[in-house]
Structure 1
Amino acid sequence: MNALPKAVRPPSPDRRLIVSIHDVSPAFADPIERLAEMIGAILGGPRFAMLVVPDHWGAAPLDRTPAFARRLREWADAGVEMFLHGWFHRDTSAHSSTAASMKARYMTAGEGEFLGLSADEAEYRMRAGRDMVEQAIGGPVAGFIAPAWLYGPGARSALKACDFALAEDHFRVWRPANNAVVARGPVVTWASRSPARTASSLVVAAAARTLPDWLPTLRVAVHPGDVTKESLMTSIDRTIRCLAGRRTVARYADLLPGAAMSEGEGRHEDR
């Protein structure tokens, strides 16, 4: 007697998956297009976020690349959430503290732009960047996410002044207006800068595919550099497919008040 096939387990409604593409810029138009096409095919449409850099390293201004700006608007109109992702994405600050210097040196390749900025300078870049991105997409951004997920005191102060709906770092998503944390847990991401970093990111992604779904919200982030290594692209494909099969594909907006939240999320926390 043939065994009956196992029933397909539907995605859990109280376990969410949020996927984002970082460093969206005219400087990386082709890699971004490839990532968007792949992720859209896996998730069944443009059910992901893009983190847009207004002028990547001062060499790719969004307001001077109309073709890419039109493409951004097409994605936004189709439902892709658009976040402001810094201004230059390059760290040019002279860090006064040892902790900030260590973060700038070891956690990113000189791209923690908002780690050492004053509140005034951070606010200026946030407002100018938001204006440029919103002009391109024809609507409001969903929030602000600092390059390399690194925020200094000035950036955190500017976040409140600019009234962004959401912000995110390595370990949480929060509402700058009142510091309410709406999701917790590390981001699953990949690294292409060195063989060692690539290898470790592949191990972490493999673990994310096999570990129990204890986090209510799991975030996955990809970068243009990922397309340079097929091992990373294969891992990204497998990981998103696996997690989307077990979780409900969600948007960052689903974390805001009015959307269903799981126990342990939505608490306030001093930052």
Structure 2
Amino acid sequence: MPERHLAIVLHDVAPATWPAYRPFVAAVDALAATLGPIPLTWLVVPDFHGRGRFDGDPAFVDRLQRRLERGDELALHGYYHRDDAPPPRTPGEWWMRRLYTREGEFQAIDDATVDERLDGGAALFADQGWPPPGFVAPAWLMNAATRRALTRRDFLYTSCRKRLYRLPEFTPLPAPGLVWSARSAWRRGLSLGVCTLQAHHHRQAGLLRLGIHPVDLGHPGLFDRWLRIVVTQIRAGRQPITKRQWLGRQARGATPP
């Protein structure tokens, strides 16, 4: 059988969200004692909701550096992770930017703002000596200006809900993801059914991504369910891997996408 991999992706990583992640990361690290290495992909927000840049917290920077040294991946996840563009002007824009999400930072900003935020985030990574990162837009929403800007820079990849795109060519690679909507009880209930069906539907996918958010981990049921999914997928034969590592394997032709 073709190799199957599992990417555990932590979204919205910042000093403000670390308390939500601390017990989950510890639990995953504990699983590694019996299941083998479980590298994580951390989607780091430079200035989460404008609360202060992550490089202003030396302990947080040191924590990420140590995770990088143990084999984890650090990727850039927006800049502020909030939609501060001018208000929506059409019903379609309102639905996407107010109902679907209020954090689609790169969905409605202009070229100059895209350039400023991409370059600012990349510079923060470079200042720490971290490798050139992948870029994941908040809520996976990117407008044409963002796509154009990504083709002119050194980011390794970007992604949507179903695919990774190797940059700068935007080469699509199938990589379905599971994600929970945890903002309300009815969303959590609906997500349970959807994720169960998707996990079955994508059981033979070369890469399955778990898109975990800090809000998920505030609900004991979701905290435990994400851990069960990790265990189930690994015991079913999926090898944990970072997105960066998986893309490297594709480039070498190790596993057909």
Q: Give how far 1:212 is off.
A: 6.2
What's the TM-score, normalizing by structure 2? 0.89
Give distance in 1, aligned partners of 2:184 and 2:95: 19
Kindly report which structure 2 residues correspond to 1:99-114, keeping only aligned pairs within 5 A, or say none. 99-108=92-101, 110-114=102-106
Q: Does 1:26 align with 2:20?
A: no
Aligned partners of 2:253 and 2:150: how far apart in 1? 23
The answer on 1:260 being equivalent to 2:254 is: yes
Look up the match of 2:53.
Answer: 61
Cα drift, residue 114 of structure 1: 0.4
Deviations 1:64-111 (A, max 9, x none): 111111111111111110000000000011245543332112321x11
Task: Name the SS for the 2:74 alignment partner.
Answer: strand
Aligned to 1:168: 159
| Greater mean deviation of Cα atoms: 13-22 or 247-256 | 247-256
Q: Write the letter of the residue equivalent to 2:209.
A: R
Q: Which has the larger radius of gyration?
A: 1
Structure 2 CA distance, aligned partners of 1:226 and 1:19? 14
In structure 2, do the counterparts of structure 1 residues 210 and 180 end up closer, same or farther at CA, with 3 Å as the change threshold?
A: closer
Structure 2 SS opposite 1:39: helix
Equivalenced residue count is: 249
For structure 2, the 5+ residue unaligned runs are: none
Letter of the aligned partner of 1:106 in structure 2? L
Residues 166, 176 of structure 1: 8 Å contact kept: yes
Contact residue 40 and residue 46 of structure 1 kept, 8 A: yes
Q: Which residue of 1 aligns with 2:146?
A: 155
SS of structure 1 residue aligned to 2:118 = helix
Q: Distance in 1 between matches of 2:183 and 2:202?
A: 29
Structure 1 CA distance for aligned equivalents of residues 28 and 179 of structure 2: 14
Paired-residue identity, %: 29
Single out whichever of 43-52 and 165-174 deviates more from structure 2. 43-52
Amino acid of the structure 2 residue aligned with 1:92: D
Structure 1: gaps spanning 5 or more residues: 1-11, 266-271
Structure 1 contact 255–261 (Cα < 8 Å) conserved:
no
> 5 Å matches for 1:232-271?
232-246=222-236, 247-253=238-244, 254-256=246-248, 257-262=251-256, 265=257
Q: Is the 8 A contact 1:144 1:167 kept in 2?
A: yes
Q: Which amino acid aligns with 1:17?
A: L
Secondary structure, counterpart of 1:177 in structure 2? coil
The alignment's TM-score, normalised by the length of structure 1, stands at 0.85
Q: Any residues of structure 2 matched to 1:55-204 within 5 Å, and which?
A: 55-94=47-86, 95-96=88-89, 98-108=91-101, 110-136=102-128, 138-185=129-176, 187-204=177-194
Tell me how far apart the structure 1 counterparts of residues 89 and 167 of structure 2 sit (CA, whole Å). Answer: 25
